[in-house]
Amino acid sequence: MSLPLLIVAIAFTLWGLLNMLRPFLAQRDEQLRFEVLDEELREIEGLMARKAALVQSLRDIEYDHQTAKISPEDYKRFKRSHERRAVAIMRRLDAIHGGREWESHIEDAVIARQEALPEPPAEATVVEDGPRATRSDAKADEACTECGEPLSPRARFCAICGTPREASHDELPRHAAPLTSEVTG
Amino acid sequence: MSWLGSLAIYLALYVALVGVTMGIIAARTGSRRFLHATRFATYTTFGAISVASMVLIHALLTHDFSIKYVAAFSDQSMPTFYLLGAFWGGQAGSLLFWIWKVTLFTAICVYTNRKSYQDFMPWVMAVSLAVAAGLLVILVFGSNPFEGYHLIDDPTQGKGLNPLLQTPKMVLHPPALLTGMASMTVPFAFAIAALLSGNLSNAWVEAARKWILWPWLFLSIGNILGGMWAYEELGWGGYWAWDPVENAALLPWLTSTALIHSLLIQERRGMLKRWNVGLMIGTFLLTIFGTYITRSGLIESVHSFAQSEIGPYFLNLLITVTVLSVALFIYRWKALKSEQRLDSPVSREAAFIFNNWMFLSMTAVVLFGTLWPRIKEGLTGQDIAMGPQWFNRWMIPLGLLMMLMMGIGTIIAWRRANWKNFQRNFIIPIAAALILTPLSVGLYWVVRGQGLVSPDSLDASYAIIAIALCFFVGATIVQEFSRGISARRRMHDESFGESLYRLCMKQKRRYGGYIVHLGVVFAFVAFAGNAMKIEKDVSLAQGESVQIGDFTFTYQGLSDQHNRERVLYSSSVQVARDGRPLYEMHPGKSVFHSSPNMPVSEIDIRSTPLEDVYVALVNFDPDGRRAAFKIFVSPFTWWFWFGGIILVLGTLICLWPTRESLESLRPGAGGIGRAAIFGGVVVLVFSPMLVWTVESHTSWGDSRRLEEAPVAALTDAPSEASPVQPEPS
């Protein structure tokens, strides 16, 4: 019994070691790919975590109100401030990516940006342009017909003025928005 | 094979140090490349330590006595279960096991957080790997488990594991405790990461809250199992003796209990930031300090078998971690300012703060009681001992106050409590305590206590206060549950059981926490019973009886049995009540041939929810005509173990993964699977209680379990009379 486990452990260690060295051993373009670092995506992760925490707190406050562990004035005050903060976060999320499909949005963006990476001869300076280039492409392609705000590829509405995207656009989301499902969970 | 083990721990140390460096680079530059590499460095360290552990286990199982550790802690006659126990039965092995757990928990933490907390995960990895590297330095240079013999003195026989440790509970107690201590590294790493990164918002609290429950759970299990072992094996009739090493394991448990509660306040109100960081650092330091006490032999204790030479290494580690973390704490002191002030002394925040003080006072008492005899001896040369009486004098009132705050903290209002809150939440529990306490105490006295107990007035009043508080806290918990259930049933049209289940699943932290509190209530019932404990040392001739409480004990005779490993002396004691014989008990003593000077007591305990009857054979004439016993009748001790089980169950509910977190591990994890696993866990958690009951009522728990069909080869058994000399009376 101990021998197969030992072999598994050795295999695991070697796999870990290989993966640890990979970013430094790889071709230059692959190395650069690791450095594609998107502040926007990080912000989305942070915002989602904060939103989940706020929703949990709201649920607790609701419960405390039901069991008289919080005075009605405090309940209103806490609830309002929490809701205000939650709404602010949701606004920010909406502004980043139209509030929908954020996970596949991240995936798509990563793929798009990796594809946009320059060929090996190009130096690191070009990499900096990669994300910007895609962003400006999006701007050129899709903007809100009402207010002119650039639309993210998966947004169905403008995040600023709420105007629906033109019906001709066929890239509609595949399933319902994850934002509301978070709240009920 | 030992070369592979040594190679693995050297590799682990190297990778851990590289990982620390890469983690710092990743954190300072935000480089994904380094982040990725650091992540895999933690996996690799874990993998390498796993290889080393597997090599050691393999060597133990195959009796590879060319490795010193294997020869020192195992022999060929040991069953597989105890061979596994020998992995952590010795110094070097337990250290390896510790590092294994540190890296395991770090790897799990890194894996589950691979997409979140990007700003301080590099720091978390760097800190955890630094701790692992520190321990690995001790392992590699201080006590390498793979050290071998020179070819010439290669032994063919091992020395065997200390016979006191060859019981199932002892195989499980050290790893539980070590796991608890080791996994404390992860929440500590989060706190230090927050200090290092300067992100002092509640993010680290949210991240660390989940991770602090694991060490807390394992420390609880470890301490309870240790208590069970002491109760069953050591023969002084209790489960807690305020032994320095027991205290060392209790200290981080006390501070982490305080921390779990104060983190809640920070999460909710943004208060107690400094307090929490300080408490987290203190808790981690106490885990290292505990190991230092155990390993250095600084303080004498029942755990003297764990002493070794690596004490100074641990002292260095302790000093390094203290200096670094305290310096960092001071550096960020200003930034850790509270967002809110305390609005009123009558509020949940205040109740929690007060409760924290209680825990810290208990920590201070235990720490003082553990260290003071040593300090005093160093200063004046006087040898003093701090016995259980000293600890009880302080800990009982503090414990009762803690219990009161536990009840109040559950139901008092946030921010500022008012009359309506009092009416709505306090009246039922207070009424329950006022009505049920006299009723139950009176009932117990009439039905059982009269013939059994004669406590003195202080003990009795403590016991009654404890029972009253148990009813108070119990009623608050029942009230919370019934309110939650009725609220659900109003809204969802569910059956009682269904809404109870959903309540626990939807608000795991809250209701899991209440169940933990319920476990503590049961434990306090046992503490109250402890005040009424009767203890007697008796010496009985064959056929002679003694009356203890309303039980009559008659010594009937002694038998001995020799086999290859040991000589087993088994006595027979008839227990009767009111002239009616109830059952026979069979306390014994076994003497292992490998260590004839260390006879091991085989204590017989008959455990029921009302009381435990506990008989230990202390000494006997070689011909068996006279024997000395230690007999205890201790009411309600059963409830301590039951409370422990409930506590573990409650913690598991708190830790039970949400659907989202399961998704993050493996997309598509189903609901039926979860329910099945949960049912399995519940059965597993309650199984010790089942074993305890079976052991108590059958021959499994007394000396007869060791009797076997006479072994043919009795020739190698020593034929002298009992090596246990009769006591001069």
- CA dihedral sign, ordered A83, A50, B410, B363: negative
Q: Where are the domains of chain A?
A: 1-34, 37-184
Q: Which of B37, B53, B487 sits opposite A23 (nearest CB)?
A: B37
Q: How far is A136 from chain B, CA to nearest CA, in Å?
A: 24
A18 to chain B: closest CA residue: B40
Q: Which of A13, A15, A74 sits opposite B414 (nearest CB)?
A: A74
Q: Which site among A13, A17, A35, A42 would you substitute to test the B interface, given the most B Cβ atoms closer than 10 Å to its Cβ? A: A13
The helix (run of H) or strand (run of E) holding residue B577 is strand B566-577
Asked whether the beta carbons of B519 and B538 are under 8 A apart, the reply is no
Tell me the β-bridge partners of B602. B588
Amino acid identity of residue B548, one-letter, is: I
Amino acid identity of residue B268, one-letter, is: R
Q: Which of residues 76-105 of A touch B (CB under 8 A)?
A: none
Asked whether the beta carbons of B366 and B290 are under 8 A apart, the reply is no
Domains along chain B? 1-161 (1.20.120), 409-531+642-659+680-697 (no CATH), 534-637 (2.60.98)
Residues B506 and B652: their CA atoms lie apart, in Å, by: 14
Asked whether the beta carbons of B211 and B187 are under 8 A apart, the reply is yes
pLDDT-derived band at B670 (thresholds 50, 70, 90) equals low
Q: Is A71–B30 a contact, with Cβ atoms under 8 angstroms apart?
A: no
Tell me, what's the pLDDT at B150?
65
Asked whether the beta carbons of B117 and B207 are under 8 A apart, the reply is yes
pLDDT in tens, chain A (185 residues): 678 889 999 999 999 998 888 878 766 666 665 555 455 666 777 777 778 878 878 888 887 787 777 778 888 888 888 888 888 888 888 777 554 555 666 666 667 666 666 554 444 443 334 344 444 444 445 677 777 777 766 666 776 777 776 644 444 444 434 443 333 33
Q: To the nearest whole percent, how much of chain B has pLDDT over 70?
A: 88
Query: What is the 8-class DSSP label of residue B67?
Result: B
Average pLDDT of span B672-701: 70
Q: Is B414–A13 a contact, with Cβ atoms under 8 angstroms apart?
A: no
Q: How far is A84 from chain B, CA to nearest CA, in Å?
A: 16
Residues B411 and B472: their CA atoms lie apart, in Å, by: 11
The neighbour count for residue B554, using CB atoms within 10 Å, is 17
Condensed to tens digits (0 to 9), the pLDDT of residues B98-134 reads 999 999 999 999 988 887 777 788 999 999 999 999 9
Asked whether the beta carbons of B411 and B494 are under 8 A apart, the reply is no
- Our CA dihedral for B299, B305, B310, B311, rounded to 10 degrees, sits at -10
Question: What is the CB-side half-sphere exposure of residue B420 using CA atoms within 13 A?
Answer: 10
Asked whether the beta carbons of B607 and B693 are under 8 A apart, the reply is yes
Tell me the β-bridge partners of B538. B629
Q: Which of B33, B415, B425 sits opposite A31 (nearest CB)?
A: B33
Is this prediction's ipTM beyond 0.95? no
User: Cα B474 vs. chain centroid, distance in angstroms?
Assistant: 23
Tell me, what's the pLDDT at B405?
92
The answer to whether residue B728 scores a pLDDT higher than 50 is: no
Tell me, what's the pLDDT at A140?
44
The helix (run of H) or strand (run of E) holding residue B562 is strand B551-562
Amino acid identity of residue B140, one-letter, is: V
Tell me, what's the pLDDT at A60?
80
Q: Which of B34, B58, B414 sits opposite A69 (nearest CB)?
A: B414
Condensed to tens digits (0 to 9), the pLDDT of residues B254-294 reads 999 999 999 988 887 778 889 999 999 999 999 988 878 77
Of the listed ranges B164-178, B552-566, B659-673, the least confidently predicted one is: B659-673
Residues B365 and B394: their CA atoms lie apart, in Å, by: 7
User: Tokens representing B137?
Assistant: 């330095």
Q: Which of B32, B40, B267 sits opposite A16 (nearest CB)?
A: B40
- Our CA dihedral for B267, B269, B271, B277, rounded to 10 degrees, sits at 0
Asked whether the beta carbons of A100 and A176 are under 8 A apart, the reply is no
Asked whether the beta carbons of B52 and B12 are under 8 A apart, the reply is yes
Cβ-based neighbours of B469, under 8 Å, separated by 6 or more = B400, B403, B404, B407, B433, B524
Tell me the β-bridge partners of B632. B535, B614
pLDDT-derived band at B455 (thresholds 50, 70, 90) equals low
Amino acid identity of residue B181, one-letter, is: M
Q: Is A15–B117 a contact, with Cβ atoms under 8 angstroms apart?
A: no
Q: Which of residues 105-164 of A touch B (CB under 8 A)?
A: none
Report the SS3 class of residue B614: strand
Helix (H), strand (E) counts: chain B: 21, 10
Q: To the nearest whole percent, how much of chain B has pLDDT over 90?
A: 31
Average pLDDT of span B49-71: 88
Residues B48 and B44: their CA atoms lie apart, in Å, by: 6
Say whether residue A26 is in contact with chain B using an 8 A CB cutoff.
no
Q: Which residues of B touch A70 (CB under 8 A)?
A: 413-415
The neighbour count for residue B48, using CB atoms within 10 Å, is 29
Q: How far is A31 from chain B, CA to nearest CA, in Å?
A: 7
Report the SS3 class of residue B567: strand
Q: Which residues of B touch A15 (CB under 8 A)?
A: 43, 47
Residues B585 and B703: their CA atoms lie apart, in Å, by: 9
Tell me, what's the pLDDT at B239?
84
Q: How far is B688 from chain A, CA to nearest CA, in Å?
A: 26
Average pLDDT of span B228-233: 83
Q: What is the mean pLDDT of chain B?
A: 83
pLDDT-derived band at B305 (thresholds 50, 70, 90) equals low
CB burial of residue B326 (10 Å; 0-12, 13-18, 19+): middle
Crossing angle for the helix pair B185-197 and B121-137, nearest 10 degrees? 130
Cβ-based neighbours of B634, under 8 Å, separated by 6 or more = B237, B529, B530, B532, B533, B534, B611, B612, B614
Q: Which residues of A touch B487 (CB under 8 A)?
A: 66
Residues B199 and B34: their CA atoms lie apart, in Å, by: 20
Tell me, what's the pLDDT at B465?
92
Asked whether the beta carbons of B566 and B559 are under 8 A apart, the reply is no
Average pLDDT of span B153-167: 68
Q: Counting one residue from A and one from B, how many pairs have CB atoms under 8 Å apart?
A: 130
* pLDDT, greater one: B524 or B162: B524
Q: Which site among B18, B44, B46, B190 would you substitute to test the A interface, given the most A Cβ atoms closer than 10 Å to its Cβ? A: B44
